[in-house]
Structure 1
């Protein structure tokens, strides 16, 4: 019976009503879910050992702030002890996903039937918040194969709303435009760089992209906004080329939940039935709203792969003020970088993403990655490799732009677009690798 989906476990009507309640009432509901989730996590070997070590009794938790009594879970834990995570009842598992493996070995994440329903609910709420309704057609330019969970999540969310999903997958711009012109979807979901290339291909082949049926863009996999919820240069180009509203999203296979922007475009809403979110400093102390720190996620209600206080390694800020859309749930700001990619360069701390945001202003560049090595004095030597087939690209001007805006002056090397893309996808990953760390190899 464990394989049976609990009918009406997640109600969209109840979800919308909950989001309009005061934050204290929302947290009271979350506390009940947290205690259930702790009991579920305690059935796994990893958390059973962790709870025994600290003498945890979930019944003693009196508020969401007591979450700090629980231990952190790190990606290193998942890599070192994969056999200690996940439920022992394998009969309940109906789907298996793999993480992208861009920052380590791929992690197997099992899903129960209820987990898949939870996944669909997450995306249904997110799509609804940007105006997707049952009458709409949604073009999915993401893959549903290769154990990739996001594509399945978007498909399930669209269909839960009663809208029509067009599963066209990535690549093949000619086919994408044939689908757009024939089926006239109003919404498209995809990686920002691909949607930019798709728009450029359309304009180059006589298609008036801004007059297509696409009115709404949902971006995945890459940042489309920077601090302050401002569109990145790439995001601005997407908005201009398509003449469409852009909404960014952020999630990870491990925590089986995603943050999606609403109509206010003021951060990704935290779905209260599905997760708790903290921002912590390097010592693990919870930071107040608005301060930059590491994102820590506790995904509530997960059955197959329950996690507690997962340190994501991503850096962002949290906002608990009421949203102008009418929801009172917390919102996560744009991801500003990864802790593992934090660079120290001549007294300045920065993340590769800030470099990429500057480079996006130059349309002659198509793809870029960062190489970092350790210099003799222990600081980081940074080389930025950019892809361009345009001979007019001025390297010195790029260096001056980076120095003016970021106070850094890294070495810049130009390679062909094909060469850069080959390096970024050399390991066969479905995600581009944009950071190469050689500091511990020399």
Structure 2
């Protein structure tokens, strides 16, 4: 189930995107109060925007813009809205997105081709281990995508290893949709209850929310911990509510594939122009075919690298490498630039570390400080010394580390109304 456009030449892909860009600009000019103001304020004649390169003539849209002018982005009357979702609010106040019936159909198409990208077929059964409620787009998208693909789905929801294993053993799903670290909890539960995980029939997991790979696409520590015990394939996905689209790995597992019929992707530097090929920049997206709340040059805040070499799966689309980090969570610590994912990888090296939270703050002189709060199985000076030494070896610096009990860390990770664990708390102004 590879759409023809994703196997087409780069020239044909570009031509399709430019045609769809024209349609989007016309739609925004007619229906979007926010972008009408942008075009007027910056004296932009949309007829002059004819190529992807011309996009740089249009100002970027930021998360602040979305938060301040949320309702002005809506392009349809209220009676056409079928579903409301909100962003997680990781880096600010949550933003509401309104989806029409056509948007839900587009969301289903996106997830169906994304699952197919990872090798899922209509004969497969998937077990959903994320919430489908709480205004969460991802769980709904997964359900709609599996249904469109024609596969089966078991909606278990988040947590509860006992119920997850009861469902796995009863319904024999072939794929799981889960946060990677939760797979470790399933492995631990299976060990305690004499469940043979490698005869369970599960052959793969579609993973969300946490990175599985290093920048060279090798498995990171977390993924190695999982696959060393459970012999399943792990597939990374990257998506956000604002994008209404996912970048999912194919079976070659060399980055998340771009669906050019659904989204335009730019990798921008601080000057809001494209970085030179092979460099890290901020993913900036333009949604195609969205009816309710389309976005034009929206800066996601996520730092990534694009890969454009040919993929063995037959797709000619750009691929996104593993997330380097969120731009707002970049830390300058004792002269070293860090992103939280680099610290995740180090902490995942220690089996003794049960859970953790990374807190970033400013000290009295305004420079960045890091405090990592850890729940450990044996919180002693020996473990503390080992962790600090590992940080120095890998990142050249060692942050402040505190041991806390598991309940304390869990309370920080799962505040009221949370839909997924919070591992980074940024207290900087």
Q: TM-score range by the shorter chain?
A: over 0.9
Q: Which of 6, 10, 20 matches 1:33?
A: 20
After superposition, where does 1:308-323 map in structure 2 within 5 Å?
308-323=296-311
Judge conservation of contact 1:356–1:368 (CA < 8 Å) in 2. no
Counterpart residue number, 2:323: 335
Q: Structure 1 residues 33-42 or 145-154, which shifts more?
A: 33-42
Residue 255 (1) aligns with residue 243 (2): yes
Counterpart residue number, 1:416: 405
Judge conservation of contact 2:325–2:339 (CA < 8 Å) in 1. yes
Counterpart residue number, 2:166: 178
Q: Which of 364, 367, 370 matches 2:355?
A: 367
Judge conservation of contact 1:101–1:429 (CA < 8 Å) in 2. no
- Moved segments of 4+, more than 4 Å: none
Q: Aligned equivalents of 1:279 and 1:45: distance in 2?
A: 27
Judge conservation of contact 2:73–2:293 (CA < 8 Å) in 1. yes
Q: Aligned equivalents of 2:76 and 2:287: distance in 1?
A: 19
SS at match of 1:361: coil
Q: Structure 1 residues 373-382 or 245-254, which shifts more?
A: 373-382
Q: Aligned equivalents of 2:408 and 2:248: distance in 1?
A: 34
Q: Structure 1 residues 391-400 or 413-422, which shifts more?
A: 391-400
Judge conservation of contact 1:343–1:349 (CA < 8 Å) in 2. yes
After superposition, where does 1:38-187 map in structure 2 within 5 Å?
38-42=25-29, 43-187=31-175
> 1:437/1:143 Cα in 2 relative to 1: closer, same or farther (>3 Å)?
closer
Q: Aligned equivalents of 2:300 and 2:315: distance in 1?
A: 25
For normalisation by structure 2, the TM-score amounts to: 0.96
Q: Tell me the CA shift for residue 62 of structure 1.
A: 2.9
Residue 388 (1) aligns with residue 387 (2): no
Residue 216 (1) aligns with residue 200 (2): no
Counterpart residue number, 1:268: 256
Q: Aligned equivalents of 2:193 and 2:26: distance in 1?
A: 57
CA RMSD, Structure 1 to Structure 2 (Å): 1.5
Q: Aligned equivalents of 2:76 and 2:108: distance in 1?
A: 24
Judge conservation of contact 2:56–2:272 (CA < 8 Å) in 1. no
For normalisation by structure 1, the TM-score amounts to: 0.93
Q: Tell me the CA shift for residue 334 of structure 1.
A: 0.8
Q: Tell me the CA shift for residue 57 of structure 1.
A: 2.9
**C-alpha distance after superposition, 1:256-282 (max 9, x if no partner):** 111101111011111011001111112
Q: Tell me the CA shift for residue 210 of structure 1.
A: 2.2
Q: Aligned equivalents of 1:426 and 1:136: distance in 2?
A: 35
Q: Aligned equivalents of 1:84 and 1:105: distance in 2?
A: 17
Judge conservation of contact 1:102–1:431 (CA < 8 Å) in 2. no
Q: Aligned equivalents of 2:121 and 2:424: distance in 1?
A: 38
Q: What stretches of structure 1 of length at least 5 have no aligned partner?
A: 1-11
Counterpart residue number, 1:204: 192
Q: Which of 15, 18, 22 matches 2:5?
A: 18
Counterpart residue number, 2:287: 299
Q: Tell me the CA shift for residue 385 of structure 1.
A: 1.2
SS at match of 1:142: coil
Q: Tell me the CA shift for residue 144 of structure 1.
A: 1.0
Q: What stretches of structure 2 of length at least 5 have no aligned partner?
A: none
Q: Which of 254, 268, 271 matches 1:283?
A: 271
Counterpart residue number, 1:4: none
Q: Structure 1 residues 221-230 or 177-186, which shifts more?
A: 221-230
Q: Aligned equivalents of 1:221 and 1:374: distance in 2?
A: 26
Q: Aligned equivalents of 2:35 and 2:132: distance in 1?
A: 31
Residue 405 (1) aligns with residue 405 (2): no
SS at match of 1:179: helix
Q: Aligned equivalents of 2:427 and 2:209: distance in 1?
A: 24
Judge conservation of contact 2:131–2:157 (CA < 8 Å) in 1. yes
**C-alpha distance after superposition, 1:21-48 (max 9, x if no partner):** 1111111011111111122223211100
Q: How many residues align?
A: 427
SS at match of 2:412: helix
SS at match of 1:195: helix
SS at match of 1:381: strand
Q: Tell me the CA shift for residue 217 of structure 1.
A: 0.7
Q: Tell me the CA shift for residue 391 of structure 1.
A: 4.0
Judge conservation of contact 2:282–2:303 (CA < 8 Å) in 1. yes
